[in-house]
Amino acid sequence: MIGIFDSGYGGLTVFKEIRKLLPDYDYMYLGDNARAPYGGRGKEKVTSFSREAVKFLFDKGCHLVLFACYTASSLALRELQKEFLRAPGITDKKILGVIRPVVEHAAKHSRKGAIGIVATRATIDSKALETELKNLKPELKIFPKACPLLVPLIEEHWHKTPEARMILKKYLRSLKNANIDTLILGCTHYPLMMSDFKRFFGKKVDVLNGGKIVAESLVNYLERHHEIKSLLSKNGRITYYTTDDPERFFEFGRYFAKVPIEKVERVSLS
Amino acid sequence: MIGIFDSGYGGLTVFKEIRKLLPDYDYMYLGDNARAPYGGRGKEKVTSFSREAVKFLFDKGCHLVLFACYTASSLALRELQKEFLRAPGITDKKILGVIRPVVEHAAKHSRKGAIGIVATRATIDSKALETELKNLKPELKIFPKACPLLVPLIEEHWHKTPEARMILKKYLRSLKNANIDTLILGCTHYPLMMSDFKRFFGKKVDVLNGGKIVAESLVNYLERHHEIKSLLSKNGRITYYTTDDPERFFEFGRYFAKVPIEKVERVSLS
């Protein structure tokens, strides 16, 4: 199975795109809602929470785990790849993140080399996206901006209000002044405000749909890694797990997934 | 020692008032920042997190633990009082919450008996404040309103912006229409917007400062319970614990406490 892990609901916007391109596989989606959001937490906590999530998904029979969360991908991915994939006996497992594909796309397609990044405070502070972009192309000019209020606004369904648009404008002003040509939405919640980002910047800025890019990259990954692909079952089954109230996940999750969520099971990670 | 427990920083607004009235005691403040905010979580998680916090503070030598958090007081206090204080060997310990004193004050002083409550979603959904008010005075008319965006706005220092005032106005409109005469700020973050609440309602509504009421009630409690009071040490020492990054607690905590925070230690509860 393919395991998709996020701190909460945001990863469902990525999962939605993955299922469009790869509808036949079996999936487990794990939302650590009891400890979400990760976006304001330190590296140590995000790593230890993510470690428990990876262990859970591997134990459940996943061979491929995708961190559908920029905060976990920024703060914990590299360390956990080392820990889990180096351990003896674990050669049939992989952990992937969302940063690499998005960053490669941005570096490749940016016309003027001026790239903005919007994300949670933890992701911005980690400089993970910035560093990977610079590694790919040192001459890029990067403009990071933490937008910590967007996640609560989206989770409260307030993101279509004038207040949310005013807050968004304040966040984005410095990026407009910097004349960026590409914007990375470095948080899986932000695609729910895609039209507002696009309206603010107009046609001059390419606002990247990370979910779609990550999904395309996963298709490509499986083409190149038959040793993993051959281990993945294909019955089109999806199982949802949450560390908080399943009813709540059922209710709020639908709104991110854009499709009904059938069955949600509560699990304890710690 | 007296233990003060909150999901994060909010309890510092209560602690500030307590120290004004009772400056000589020794205190431990525990913020479960790694798992904050509790305001959107289910009863089960809030209870299990609070259980770990109480155990930690009792183990550290506290004889009195105050839940300086409306969500924990609403969802977990009663159950944990039963669990901890009924256990054999634990007769020298007490757990108090913030709801009882505030509710008693409101029921006593409300002129027309029309009381508004603003709080997190979890606190409002629990109906804890509402139920206690009705128990004291069944004829009271209660108007609850969840205001889930206020905590993130305050934690991001955005609460003095026009956007925050617009959001606050939207939240409060129904309470103004209901002609309340008393408003309970059922979340320890909200006193940081006290002046905005007061400005919105004008002189006709008594906006209660919960921190001050809780502090006065604690003074009164100690006067009536010498068996606990006699166990509390008095060296004016304060120790801060957080489950997340101590640096972050140091930086953000000052802003709620309104005084410098000297030393913060990281602890693990789970």
Question: Residue A152: is its pLDDT beyond 80?
Answer: yes
pLDDT at B90: 66
Q: Across residues B36-41, what is the average pLDDT? A: 84
Q: Across residues A128-147, what is the average pLDDT? A: 97
Residues A56/A4, Cβ–Cβ less than 8 Å = no
Cβ–Cβ below 8 Å for A148 and B153? no
**Whole-Å CA distances, A128 to A98, A125, A206, B247:** 11, 8, 21, 21
Token pair for B47: 């209870």
Q: How confident is the model at residue A200 (pLDDT cuts 50, 70, 90)?
A: very high
Enter the pTM of the model: 0.87
Task: Tell me B149's DSSP state.
Answer: T
Could you check whether B2-97+212-266 and B99-209 share the same CATH topology? yes
Question: Residue A122: is its pLDDT beyond 90?
Answer: no
pLDDT at B258: 85
**Whole-Å CA distances, B18 to A21, A222, B3, B190, B202:** 58, 60, 12, 17, 27
Q: Across residues B44-71, what is the average pLDDT? A: 96
pLDDT at A259: 83
**Interface mutation vs chain B, best among A46, A147, A149, A251, most B CBs within 10 Å:** A149
Residues A118/A186, Cβ–Cβ less than 8 Å = yes
Interface residues on A facing B, Cβ-Cβ cutoff 8 A: 34-35, 40-42, 44-45, 148-149, 151-153, 155-156, 158, 162-163, 166-167, 170, 243-245, 248, 270
Alpha helices (H) in chain B, listed in sequence order: 11-21, 43-59, 70-75, 77-86, 99-109, 121-126, 128-136, 150-155, 162-177, 194-201, 210-224, 226-229, 246-257
**Interface mutation vs chain A, best among B7, B32, B33, B41, most A CBs within 10 Å:** B41
Count CA atoms closer than 13 A to B186's CA, side-chain side: 37
Distance from C-alpha of A46 to C-alpha of A76, rounded to nearest angstrom? 6
Give the nearest partner residue to A42 out of B35, B40, B248, using CB atoms. B248
Distance between first and last Cα of chain A: 23
Cβ–Cβ below 8 Å for B166 and A167? no
Residues B182/B115, Cβ–Cβ less than 8 Å = yes
Percent of chain B's residues with pLDDT above 90: 85
- Chain A hits for B163, CB-CB cut-off 8 Å, are 163, 166-167, 170
How does pLDDT run across A38-80, given as a tens digit for each residue?
A: 887 889 999 999 999 999 999 999 999 999 999 999 999 999 9
Percent of chain A's residues with pLDDT above 70: 99
Q: Which residue is it, tokens 């490509």? A: A220
**Interface mutation vs chain B, best among A121, A147, A166, A167, most B CBs within 10 Å:** A167
Question: Residue B88: is its pLDDT beyond 80?
Answer: no
Max CA separation in chain B (angstroms):
54
Percent of chain A's residues with pLDDT above 90: 85
Max CA separation in chain A (angstroms):
54
Residues A129/A103, Cβ–Cβ less than 8 Å = yes
Token pair for B199: 């400005």
Sheet holding B206-208, edge to edge: B141-146, B114-119, B182-185, B206-208
Residues B1/B61, Cβ–Cβ less than 8 Å = yes
Q: How far is A258 from chain B (nearest CA, A)?
A: 22
- Chain B hits for A154, CB-CB cut-off 8 Å, are none
CATH number of this structure's domain A2-97+212-266: 3.40.50.1860
Rg (CA), chain B: 18
How does pLDDT run across B103-134, given as a tens digit for each residue?
A: 999 999 999 999 999 999 989 999 999 999 99
- In chain B, domain spans: 2-97+212-266, 99-209
Give the nearest partner residue to B166 out of A35, A163, A248, using CB atoms. A163
> Under CATH, to which class is A99-210 assigned?
alpha beta
pLDDT at A42: 84
pLDDT at A87: 72
Distance from C-alpha of A1 to C-alpha of A229, rounded to nearest angstrom? 10
> Under CATH, to which class is B99-209 assigned?
alpha beta
- Chain B hits for A165, CB-CB cut-off 8 Å, are none
